[in-house]
Homo-oligomer: A and B are copies of this chain.
Amino acid sequence: MFNIRTDLAIEAREIYREGSNREVPGVAVDVDHKDEDIKITIVKVLDERGARIIGKPIGSYITMEVPKIRHYDAEFHDRLGKSLAKQLAELINLKKDGTVLVVGLGNWNVTPDSLGPKVVSKLFVTRHLKQYMPQYLEEGINPVCAISPGVLGITGIETAEIIQGVVEKVKPDVVIAIDALSSRKMERVVTTIQIGNTGINPGSGVGNRRMELSERTLGIPVIAIGVPTVVDAATLANDTIDLMIDSLIKQTSNDKDFYNMLKNVNKDEKYALIRQILNPYIGDLMVTPKEIDSLIEDISKVIANAINIAVHPGIELEDINKYIH
Contacts and interface: CB of A to CB of B under 8 A. Distances in A.
Contacts of A164: 165, 169
A152 interface: yes
A147 interface: yes
A269 to B, nearest CB: 11
A290 B150 contact: no
Number of copies: 4
Nearest to A274: B240
Interface string A277-315: 110010111111111011000100000000000000000
Contact of A240 (B110, B127, B170, B237): B237
B156 A143 contact: yes
A137 interface: no
Contact of A162 (B169, B233, B283, B325): B169
Contact of A155 (B146, B284, B298, B325): B146
A277 to B, nearest CB: 5
B72 A321 contact: yes
Interface residues of A, number: 74
11 contacts: A110-B290, A120-B154, A146-B155, A147-B155, A162-B169, A165-B167, A241-B241, A244-B277, A285-B290, A286-B289, A298-B325
A187 B293 CA distance: 25
A72 B293 CA distance: 23
Contacts of A187: 281
B321 A73 contact: yes
B273 A247 contact: yes
Contact of A146 (B156, B186, B289): B156
A149 to B, nearest CB: 7
Nearest to A130: B156
A289 B287 CA distance: 9
A243 interface: yes
Given A168-B165, A233-B236, A155 B110 contact: no
A145 interface: yes
Interface in A53-71: none
A75 B244 CA distance: 47
A261 interface: yes
Interface string A110-124: 110000000011000
A196 B261 CA distance: 48
